[in-house]
Amino acid sequence: MTLSAVASSTSQTEHEVKLLREMLLIRYFEEKSAELYTQEKIRGFLHLYIGEEAVAVGAMQSLRPEDAVVSTYREHGHALARGLSADSIMAEMYGKLEGCSRGRGGSMHLFDARTRFYGGNAIVGGGLPLAVGLALADKMQARNQVTACFFGEGAVAEGEFHESINLAALWQLPVLFLCENNLYAMGTALARSESQTDIHLKAASYQVPSEAVDGMNVLAVEEATQRAAAAVRAGEGPYFLELRTYRFRAHSMFDPQLYRDKAEVEEWKKRCPIATLSQRLRQEGVLTDESLTRLEAEVWAEVDASVAFAEAGTWEPVEELTRFVYSERLAP
Amino acid sequence: MNTIKTTYREAVREAIREAIRQDSRVFLMGEDVGRYGGCFAVSKGLLDELGPERIRDTPLSESAFVGAGIGAAMGGMRPIVEIMTVNFSLLALDQILNNAATILHMSGGQFNIPLVIRMATGGGRQLAAQHSHSLEGWYAHIPGIKVLAPATLEDARGMLWTALEDPDPVLIFENALLYNLEGELPADAGPVGIDKAKVLRSGTDVSLITYGGSLYKTLDAAERLAGEGISAEVLDLRTLRPLDTPAILASVAKTHRAVIVDEGWRSGSISAEISTRLMEGAFYELDAPVARVCSAEVPMPYPKHLEQAALPQAETIVQTVRQLVGGHG
Amino acid sequence: MPSLGSDMEAGTLVEWLIKPGDIVKRGDIVAVVETQKGAIDVETFEAGVVEQILVPVGEKVPVGAVLALIRSEGEAAAAPPPAPVPVPERPQPQAPIVTPGRARISPAARKHAGELGVDLAGLTGTGPGGAVTLDDVERAAQSAKLKPPTAAERHAAMRQAIGAAMARSKREIPHYYLGTTIDMSRAMAWLQTENERRPITERLLHAVLLLKAVALAVRQVPELNGFWINGESRPSQDVHVGMGISLRGGGLVAPALHQADSRSLDELMAGLRDLVQRARTGSLRSSELSDATLTITHLGEQGVDTVYGIIYPPRVALVGFGRVLERPWSVNGKIESRPLLQATLAADHRASNGHRGGLFLTALDRLLQEPEKL
């Protein structure tokens, strides 16, 4: 499913087009989700990944099918890039039985056993100990696997971050900590909540190799995560990357963004990972206006198909309400 | 039958040892379980016997190591996480409630969490307000986990294996005053069931329903009541979630009176739940209102006389039963 | 008006950024809406030409209201069928225990039935599982009022109750019987003299002498005065003597004369007269019916010599008196005619034994030889 970049330039440009496509899928999927939310098809909370696509797409290139992914409530991008179908995610947000979590979870709780996608967590920082545990299981069973743990910079204020990274470092566990620093934890700017705003330095203080990465550049993200994942896979213990990025939209749908300037948003939009990559590919002649338009239309079609899939989906029967509280024993 | 003399502590230790020896996926992790030998000496000697891979000392990070237990369980291991006492478990409450109890459901049934968490519980050792909680009834409120309260040697020895085989998270509460309990066990004692209550003393005049640390006070009270001509039945709940409702109803259908002995604070306690189930399921069997003997609703005070006044006592149970039964005309 | 969250119900249009005729594309911000959280930009998801603004600036409209019309290429997708509204099913609690033969009567109903004197046996219940409820009891009381029991019905009920009590007594109480013959000459002579001094309305019956003597005698043998309950003797501090009174139409009650040992003969006589009258009119108090700590059956008027009685449970003794009859009696070696009375004691052998019972009869005899002291 994922290929690492290979030396040949033709493969490299093909690869970059693939990266662009994956980012476009996330972008259009999120925009469509916003529309559907205003029409009350999607309910609860909706946290959009628009602007941060380079992080999910770049990072997933370094993961193998046997690796594990732990994510947050802003997870649609991670889920799509990991390989969950747009159909299953859209159906999940509609609450339909055909969703990846049988409709039981919604936007914040996407789970998929096939791709080892362990959610989706509504508690900031709640997934970090889980990632440590998954990595512990791999190490104890001598499985050469990586657990990638995505979280926002808001999580580093939680005690669970410090406990988790300390434990991972102490026991030298194969966790790839991927901190998506988009400068705002809901409505609180980084400078107003952290005494030390260079987040990767915090990880370094736990004796964990750590770097800051330009999260708006998909190739930079890819390169850094390749190196980091390789180190983790080689048994060198956990690795920490601070991916500096920005969300172009509000924290969630019902957020008037009183905490930041529109001018600041416009500045960051100039660094849009999709715009910059597609522009460069056009300049290099890899893509033409037509081929780009065709690509965009293909991706929109995939998104529209997922909406149709979700619309046609079924509601889980109410009689089944109390299932999945405890495991169901298989009949002998 | 061959029996051995043992203690509750040794029975738990043997259960852990046996589980780790028999199943390569099982390991124990928690604070001071290795080098220190366990805060209550339960795991004494196990580090030397079984090695540091299987007996893991953790830093003081309840949230992280409980969450790691959850993740490790999802990753194919069968961890036994030891939280030193229920008092510290509050630091891991988010992991227990928002992850362990809910991931199976949130994932639509894809990921189960076969995790066991053991904790010491209970008051009575003058450890004051922050070290004397009995919160097993509180945890029993949560769907998605199971809550056990082994009070006998058989259960201390046998519940752990069954809990480890369970595909879902199981919390085992060991009342700290029971660790020194001495007695005899069959030499080949093994796993026991974890879903049924047990009548430890049969009786006809009143059902004394209890669990955990209060069991022996209740048995003591029953013995004294027998001397007064009152025949009390003692039901050891053994499991607080799921409650063995049929056993509770059957006992009271026989005796028509119930006293619930619960070391939790009275209001909103598990005794309130049991009382309500009796009202729902055995209303017409009751000859008297259901009575409860619980801890006084005060943070646990330090001096002995106040602490003992706060906790359920055999004498209080006896008096409560007398009031319930007395007054025949 | 878009929904932006489950707690958003409406929004106020504060600014339009478009006008009819403008061309818009997907994602353009077209208006600003004020909500409880602040001002939010509204984008259009449709591309096309703005045709009509429907909501003016300043108006508050609910979520879902159409704000403006945009003419676009092609038709919008057909609206999917509305989701069926699921009816949640309650998980069933543990099915309640139903013990066959055990009456299902709510505590409130039971209490009320006691207050109203409604007989619970045979009431059909309309509550859950056929339980008898307050309403059922009310209704039974109402219909009972409309149709009071006939005297025959009442008598039948009473005979049944007496029968049940007597059967139980014979079944459970190990009776022993002692009898003695009492020379009543002194007592009767005293009584005659006493009554001659009194107006007719204040004359004493010899039964009152017997009553007082029994009350005083039992103070000397207290284990005969009281109850046997739950396997143990419960002697009473007070002496309330119950006199057996027969009722017309059959039936027997034994209402208590309270504190009989400390009341004068006059008081006892007045009390007895009162009890008999009220017994016959059915206006005895329930405390009078249940308070007796031992009972007397006096059947002299019926021509009986000796009474072999059945103890009225849960008491432990019954004193029986026959008629006072002139009979030959040996006095100082010579045969004389004396008024003699057969007094018997039926007693519960769990609470007392023959020795003690005998002491009681001896005491009784002695008391009746000194009638002036009663």
Mean pLDDT of B303-327: 92
B46 inside domain: yes
Domain end residue (candidates: B186, B210, B229): B186
Say whether residue C97 is in contact with chain B using an 8 A CB cutoff: yes
The pLDDT value given to residue A1: 40
Neighbours of A4 (CB within 10 A): 12
Contact call for C35 and A315, based on CB within 8 A: no
Q: For residue A239, is pLDDT > 90?
A: yes
Q: ipTM of this predicted complex?
A: 0.91
Residue recorded with tokens 């001509």: B229
Residue from the list B253, B277, B284 with its beta carbon closest to the beta carbon of C94: B277
Q: For residue C86, is pLDDT > 80?
A: no
Interatomic CA distance for residues C180 and C167, integer angstroms: 26
Q: For residue C90, is pLDDT > 60?
A: no
Cα–Cα nearest to A122, from A47, A57, A41, A188: A47
Contact call for B280 and C93, based on CB within 8 A: yes
Say whether residue C229 is in contact with chain B using an 8 A CB cutoff: yes
The pLDDT value given to residue A330: 58
Q: For residue B246, is pLDDT > 50?
A: yes
The pLDDT value given to residue C125: 84
Counting residues of chain A whose pLDDT is more than 90, the rounded percentage is 94
The pLDDT value given to residue C148: 65
Residue from the list B65, B143, B168 with its beta carbon closest to the beta carbon of A327: B168
Do B182 and B211 lie in a common domain? no
Q: Assign C113 a pLDDT band (cuts: 50, 70, 90).
A: confident
pLDDT digits (tens, 9 = 90+) for A311-331: 999 999 999 999 999 999 754
Interface of A with B in 264-293 (CB under 8 A): none
Residue from the list B245, B253, B328 with its beta carbon closest to the beta carbon of C94: B245
Q: By residue range, what is the domain housing residue B286?
A: 198-325
Half-sphere exposure in the Cβ direction for A240 (13 Å, CA): 29
Counting residues of chain C whose pLDDT is more than 70, the rounded percentage is 91
Mean pLDDT of A181-210: 95
List, by residue range, all CATH 2.40.50.100 domains of chain C: 10-71
Do B159 and B233 lie in a common domain? no
Between A218 and C106, where is the model more confident?
A218
Do B203 and B179 lie in a common domain? no
Counting residues of chain C whose pLDDT is more than 90, the rounded percentage is 53
The structure's pTM equals: 0.74
Rounded to the nearest angstrom, the minimum Cα separation between B151 and chain A is 25
Do B273 and B181 lie in a common domain? no
DSSP structure class, residue C105: B
Contact call for C3 and A37, based on CB within 8 A: yes
Q: For residue B193, is pLDDT > 60?
A: yes
What are the residue numbers of the active site of B?
Answer: 62, 131
Do B240 and B160 lie in a common domain? no
Q: Name all domains of chain A by residue range, CATH numbers in brackets.
A: 12-286 (3.40.50.970)
Domain end residue (candidates: B126, B161, B186): B186
Provide the CA B112 distance to its chain's centre, in angstroms: 23
Q: For residue C80, is pLDDT > 60?
A: no
> Could you give the C-alpha distances from A175 to A49, A56, A61, A67, in angstroms and in order?
23, 16, 16, 10
Q: For residue C82, is pLDDT > 90?
A: no
Do B34 and B123 lie in a common domain? yes
> Which of the following CATH numbers is that of domain C10-71: 3.10.20.30, 2.40.50.100, 3.40.720.10, 3.40.50.10190?
2.40.50.100
Are residues B64 and A129 in contact, defined by beta-carbon separation less than 8 angstroms? Answer: yes
Q: Find, in chain B, the residue whose alpha carbon is nearest to that of C133.
A: B284
pLDDT digits (tens, 9 = 90+) for C31-77: 999 988 888 889 998 899 999 999 999 999 999 999 999 998 664 54
The pLDDT value given to residue A247: 97
Are residues B191 and B168 in contact, defined by beta-carbon separation less than 8 angstroms? Answer: no
Do B159 and B11 lie in a common domain? yes
Instruction: Enter the tokens of residue A284.
Output: 């290099």
Contact call for A137 and B69, based on CB within 8 A: no
Do B281 and B162 lie in a common domain? no
Q: For residue C89, is pLDDT > 50?
A: no
B166 inside domain: yes
Q: Which of C33, C89, C92 to mutate to test the interface with A (most CBs of A within 10 A)?
A: C89
pLDDT digits (tens, 9 = 90+) for C224-261: 999 998 889 999 999 999 998 887 766 778 889 999 99
Q: Which residues of A touch C35 (CB under 8 A)?
A: 254, 256
Task: Return the number of CB contacts < 8 Å for B and C.
Answer: 39
Burial A110-133 (b: 16+ CB within 10 A, else e): bbbeebbbbbbbbbbbbbbbbbbb
B169 inside domain: yes
Do B177 and B222 lie in a common domain? no
B24 inside domain: yes
CATH number of the domain to which B295 belongs: 3.40.50.920
Residue ranges of chain C whose CB lies within 8 Å of a chain A CB:
2-8, 26-27, 35, 37-40, 43, 45, 63-64, 80, 83-84, 86-89, 91
Q: How many structural domains is chain B composed of?
A: 2
Q: Which residues of A touch B50 (CB under 8 A)?
A: none
B193 inside domain: no
Contact call for B106 and A132, based on CB within 8 A: no
Counting residues of chain B whose pLDDT is more than 90, the rounded percentage is 96
Q: Assign C79 a pLDDT band (cuts: 50, 70, 90).
A: very low
Mean pLDDT of B59-85: 97
Q: For residue B1, is pLDDT > 80?
A: no
Q: Which residues of A touch C64 (CB under 8 A)?
A: 40
pLDDT digits (tens, 9 = 90+) for A100-117: 999 999 999 999 999 999
Q: Which of C94, C102, C289 to mutate to test the interface with B (most CBs of B within 10 A)?
A: C94
Do B161 and B245 lie in a common domain? no
Q: Which chains touch B (3 or more CB pairs under 8 A)?
A: A, C
Q: For residue C285, is pLDDT > 90?
A: no
pLDDT digits (tens, 9 = 90+) for B307-316: 999 999 999 9
Q: For residue C84, is pLDDT > 60?
A: no
Residue from the list A37, A43, A256 with its beta carbon closest to the beta carbon of C38: A256
Do B161 and B231 lie in a common domain? no
B106 inside domain: yes
Residue from the list A99, A163, A327 with its beta carbon closest to the beta carbon of B64: A163
pLDDT digits (tens, 9 = 90+) for C145-194: 776 667 677 767 777 877 888 888 888 899 999 999 999 999 999 999 99
Say whether residue C105 is in contact with chain B using an 8 A CB cutoff: yes
Do B84 and B206 lie in a common domain? no
Q: Which residues of B touch A320 (CB under 8 A)?
A: none
The pLDDT value given to residue C77: 42
pLDDT digits (tens, 9 = 90+) for A39-90: 999 999 999 999 999 999 999 999 999 999 999 999 999 999 999 999 999 9
Q: Assign A5 a pLDDT band (cuts: 50, 70, 90).
A: very low
Rounded to the nearest angstrom, the minimum Cα separation between C131 and chain B is 9
Rounded to the nearest angstrom, the minimum Cα separation between B229 and chain C is 10
Are residues B124 and B307 in contact, defined by beta-carbon separation less than 8 angstroms? Answer: yes
Q: Which residues of A touch C43 (CB under 8 A)?
A: 34
Interatomic CA distance for residues B164 and B140, integer angstroms: 18
Q: For residue B6, is pLDDT > 90?
A: yes
Rounded to the nearest angstrom, the minimum Cα separation between B284 and chain C is 5
Q: For residue C206, is pLDDT > 80?
A: yes
List, by residue range, all CATH 3.30.559.10 domains of chain C: 174-373
Residue from the list A133, A163, A325 with its beta carbon closest to the beta carbon of B69: A133
Mean pLDDT of A180-197: 95
Helix (H, G, I), strand (E, B) or coil at C189: helix
Dihedral (Cα; B59, B62, B63, B67), 10-degree rounding:
80
The CATH architecture to which C174-373 belongs is 2-Layer Sandwich (3.30)
The pLDDT value given to residue C248: 73
B283 inside domain: yes
Tell me the CA end-to-end span of chain A in Å, nearest whole number: 36
Please state, rounded to an integer, the average pLDDT across all residues of chain C: 86
Instruction: Enter the tokens of residue C334.
Output: 């010579």
Q: For residue A306, is pLDDT > 60?
A: yes
Q: Assign A221 a pLDDT band (cuts: 50, 70, 90).
A: very high
Mean pLDDT of C124-133: 82
Q: Which of B27, B61, B66 to mutate to test the interface with A (most CBs of A within 10 A)?
A: B61
Q: Which residues of B touch A166 (CB under 8 A)?
A: 59, 61, 64
Q: Which residues of A touch C2 (CB under 8 A)?
A: 37-39
Domain end residue (candidates: B163, B186, B209): B186
Q: For residue B305, is pLDDT > 80?
A: yes
The pLDDT value given to residue C38: 84
